Structure 1
Amino acid sequence: MTEETRRRLTREETREQTRQRLIESARRQVAARGFNGASVRDIAEGAGYSQGAFYSNFDSKEALLLEVLKLYKLEEAGRINSIIEAAGDDLTAALDGLDARAERLAAGTEHAVVSAELQLHAVRNSEFGRAYWLLMEEQRALYAEFARRLFALSNVPPPAALEDLAGGLMSLGRGAILDSAIHKGAGVNLMSNILRALLHQPR
């Protein structure tokens, strides 16, 4: 590896570190101040950078927050995939793993608040709303595949189109986690109980 290559990698790594710090700061600021209350300056300063550093990495606050949402959805889909894969042919183990994951999600409030803020902004801003909806469509496709795998393990036919079931469970999940942020423990088992009922797998 040449010295020039090492310098280039270092610059790339530094840029990625800056982006990650801005993403983490955006989560904190939006959770604490709301979408409109969290300014670019707040986000940049919260990450330890100037506004110039912000704009060298993201075109706008909306672009950054779409990245926040995208990364979270991909991370969560990866965790769910790992739970289902680890369970193998054991549907009970898969559902127990998903229950445990839901409880961990409900224990934190930051993502629930940020998700609600972004959803509201998507309603109020049509351009942001279109980009937001595309991300939700991608997530719906991933969750439809998870549902297909679970129904295959249960030997129960899906009662509706998998994409519709996935969309419904996603909406329930968002609401349940937000309820839990308002009142600890509220709605934690809602999505799990409905999924188990659909799969004919009571607790």
Structure 2
Amino acid sequence: MSDTKQIRIFMTGVGGQGTLTATTLLAKTVLSQGLPVTSGEIHGMAQRGGVVESTVLIGCKSPKIGHGEADILIGFEPMETMRALPYLKCDGLVLSSTEFMPPLSVAMGKQECPTIDDIKKAVAGCTNKISFMPSQTIGLKAGAVQAGNIAMLAALCASGELPFGPEALEATIKANLPEKIQAVNLKALELGVAALNA
């Protein structure tokens, strides 16, 4: 297994978005491919609106991601994408939602919220491997706003950055999610792949 390419994935969002579900599904997909994986929650606040950060590391000995070490940054909320940029490796891949779910501090007017253009500029200053998508809108189109996270995972699997494609994620969804939510998530998967290629 020592020849497994090391891939460090940093995921960030806000509570109530399903960031940890997405982390678990991605880790299970990696495992299903016979690859060594470590996943963890760095900083999680279960209540809605709190920042949630998690990691999925493929073929890595250390379970941590330091600044400048993430090969891939997935931001389920654009402000959190911007906040997590220090973790990104130079020229790493950024997949980010364009739709805000402002944290409490912004909702209460204690903090300014950057515009999506500010965020796109900040990301472009770090890498040119960037994909933005309206994940909540995609999730709603699939049937549930949280399914937007699955759409983003699907886009990641279709990006060519991982040693497997969207069909591996599809098999994991079928094997691990309750039947009643499978259809929504499989639709989100299809829409996520389409959004990446749009």
> Highest Rg: 1 or 2?
1
Tell me the TM-score normalized by structure 1: 0.24
Q: If each structure's helix is expressed as a fraction of its own residues, which one has the higher value?
A: 1
Q: If each structure's strand is expressed as a fraction of its own residues, which one has the higher value?
A: 2
Tell me the TM-score normalized by structure 2: 0.24
